[in-house]
Amino acid sequence: MNIYVLVKRTFDTEEKIVVSGGQIQEDGAEFIINPYDEYAIEEAITVRDAHGGEVTVVTIGSDEAEKQLRTALAMGADKAVLINTEDDIEEMDQFTSAYILAEYLKDKEADLILAGNVAIDGGSGQVGPRVADLLGINYVTTITSLNIEGDTVTIVRDIEGDAEELETSLPLLVTAQQGLNEPRYPSLPGIMKAKKKPLEELELDDLDIEEDDVEAKTETIEIYLPPKKAAGRILEGDISNQVSELVGLLRNEAKVI
Amino acid sequence: MAKKVLVLGETREGALRNVSFEAIAAAKKISGGGEVVGVLIGDSVADFGNELIAYGADRVVTVEHPHLKSYTSDGYGQAFMAVVEQENPEGLVFGHTAVGKDLAPKIASKLQAGLISDVTDIEGEGDDAVFIRPIFSGKAFEKVKLKEGVDFITVRSNNIAPLERQERSGEVTSLSVDITNLRTIIKNVVRKSSEGVDLSEAKVIVAGGRGVKSSEGFEPLQELANLLGGAVGASRGACDADYCDYSLQIGQTGKVVTPDLYIAAGISGAIQHMAGMSNSKVIVAINKDPEANIFKVADYGIVGDLFEVIPMLTEEFKKVM
């Protein structure tokens, strides 16, 4: 089975966000594989181990994303592809990313493409479904279970907390939701092997993409931090008084009840 | 320029969802005095048309077909694109719901359009509309605008106030669409979410963390949530410890919520959890540890045992409600 995983390098979830000059400051921040993409990588490896084939992880970014690709290879992916846009594109949006990924994937005859259902930085969740649409294949988002038997794919997906059971077929793009699996940590031998696995680097020219084709449709005007909240009130006195005071405050001061 | 804006209306358990009314209010702003057209897709949805009009839609187009009983991206995609072809809209607004999140990127791709997801506020109107959305799960915000093409957004529940309901009249027309080649067959939906109130739309959330100690420990939280017409949520710690289902998880992974009132019980306040709830309008923290991080974002805090405080809170609310 020919399996591709779309991954994104994101800020570590522990990182505080610092904005200066209208930009998110990246200096000194730790970066990780987007946590939802880790579920996608784990699932891809599991599917390959059950059905045979090859797992290729693909990302768009700069040289710095090589670290996350090596981590995916250490987990067990077979090949990695970095589409390096650093010299070509200043502003990207979901349209841009999806276009580039679809151009890369269009002649790969992928049976299964996996991605995270959302990236924890931009948080739009658009790229997976957009790529599937551009490739003309079906997609299922926020999946929590995947079972492939012959041509039939049985999936459970999370729909706002409820579980929807459905049936579809390959080729298919799915996006991973928490609960799909427990992503493995790279083992030491895995890390050693990953250094020798193929990591291909491509630029837009290699994909015959003109910069004008991928010009972003949206424009970020400003990035800012939420206003700092004034310090809250810790209530005092015995618990029963605190509780009745709280109910009074919620009704009369905050007026939310 | 006045614009024509389509709004996808969504139903759940036999009623329109609040987020659809909020989407109409957003569409009004984008339209800059133009026309707001509600779109209803399903096997039997025409009866909801007048309610969309009461909340501000000027008219409604329905697409009904037996194959549209359950949402599939193929079925709804064909139905919605047929409406787009008939109406030639200059703006589109969906709720940022399971359906909206799944469908909007497909429609945007077909229209080769930009899409601004998960919008929580709109500044300006018509051509000057600028959209505000959380990034890094609410640790920061960005202002975004569309450079070209249709104004296409999805709106997050509970953030844009709906217009006041009024008795208005408008046309409800149906569009006949042949729905074919569905590649996904829905077999079954298992209800796992708590009774009635949807976590992402809830006005009140009572959330528990590791301090809840067991799945039974969530019972007093559920009781308080029921009384307040709210929903129960959880931190990742509580989900990892198997006290509750991951569908309740609030945080950087999990749901991002903005209720009017968020009661955090036995939640220490890891940065990942705070990302999911810190933009709630009012936050109450109940924790035994006075040094817990959660108190830093709380409007009101009680230092104490949640198993003592929560039942007392329930009793106290019963007295006054």
State whether A162 and B189 contact (CB < 8 Å). Answer: yes
Looking up tokens 């955090």 gives: B264
pLDDT of residue B254: 84
pLDDT of residue A257: 86
Average pLDDT value for residue range A196-220: 96
Which pair of tokens denotes residue B102? 């799944």
A4 touches chain B (CB under 8 A): no
Which positions of chain B have pLDDT values less than 70? Answer: 193-196
Query: What are the C-alpha distances in Å from B84 to residues A40, B89, B106, B107?
Result: 33, 6, 13, 10
Question: Which chain A residues have a beta carbon less than 8 Å from that of B102?
Answer: 129, 141-142
For residue A35, is pLDDT > 70?
Answer: yes
The C-alpha atoms of residue A240 and residue B293 are separated, in whole angstroms, by: 24
State whether B246 and A164 contact (CB < 8 Å). Answer: no
pLDDT band at A149 (very low <50, low <70, confident <90, very high): very high
Say whether the peptide bond before residue A171 is cis (omega within 30 degrees of 0): yes
State whether B130 and A221 contact (CB < 8 Å). Answer: yes
State whether A233 and B301 contact (CB < 8 Å). Answer: yes
Contact criterion met (CB below 8 Å) for B125 and B32: yes
Question: How near does any CA of chain A get to the CA of B170, in Å?
Answer: 32
Letter for the amino acid at B228? Answer: L
State whether A250 and B248 contact (CB < 8 Å). Answer: no
- Which of B12, B19, B69, B102 would best serve as a mutation to test chain A binding (most A beta carbons within 10 A)? B102
Contact criterion met (CB below 8 Å) for B43 and B72: no
Question: Which chain B residues have a beta carbon less than 8 Å from that of A142?
Answer: 98, 102
The C-alpha atoms of residue A184 and residue A180 are separated, in whole angstroms, by: 13
Q: What is the CA radius of gyration of chain A?
A: 22
> ipTM of the assembly?
0.95
Which pair of tokens denotes residue B148? 């070209």
pLDDT band at A85 (very low <50, low <70, confident <90, very high): very high
A234 touches chain B (CB under 8 A): yes
pLDDT band at A60 (very low <50, low <70, confident <90, very high): very high
Per-window interface: A 93-112 vs B, CB < 8 A? 93-95, 98
pLDDT of residue A160: 86
Per-residue pLDDT reduced to its tens digit, A5-19: 999 999 998 888 999
pLDDT of residue B193: 64
Looking up tokens 């390098």 gives: A9
State whether A130 and B260 contact (CB < 8 Å). Answer: no
Assign residue A208 a region (left: φ > 0; alpha: ψ between -120 and 50; beta: otherwise).
left
- B145 → closest Cβ in A17, A218, A229: A218
Rounded to two decimals, what is the model's pTM? 0.94
- Which of A33, A151, A174, A257 would best serve as a mutation to test chain B binding (most B beta carbons within 10 A)? A257
pLDDT of residue B83: 98
> What DSSP element (H or E) covers A103?
helix A94-105
For residue A229, is pLDDT > 80?
Answer: no
Contact criterion met (CB below 8 Å) for B151 and A132: no
Contact criterion met (CB below 8 Å) for B97 and B10: yes
Chain center to CA of B4: 23
pLDDT of residue B196: 63
Per-residue pLDDT reduced to its tens digit, A86-134: 999 989 999 999 999 999 999 999 999 999 999 999 999 999 999 999 9
pLDDT of residue B1: 79
A18 touches chain B (CB under 8 A): no
State whether A250 and B295 contact (CB < 8 Å). Answer: no
Find, among B119, B132, B112, B145, the residue nearest to A218 by Cα.
B145
Question: Which chain A residues have a beta carbon less than 8 Å from that of B253?
Answer: 13, 35-36, 120, 178
pLDDT band at A231 (very low <50, low <70, confident <90, very high): confident
The C-alpha atoms of residue B79 and residue B83 are separated, in whole angstroms, by: 7
Chain center to CA of B134: 14
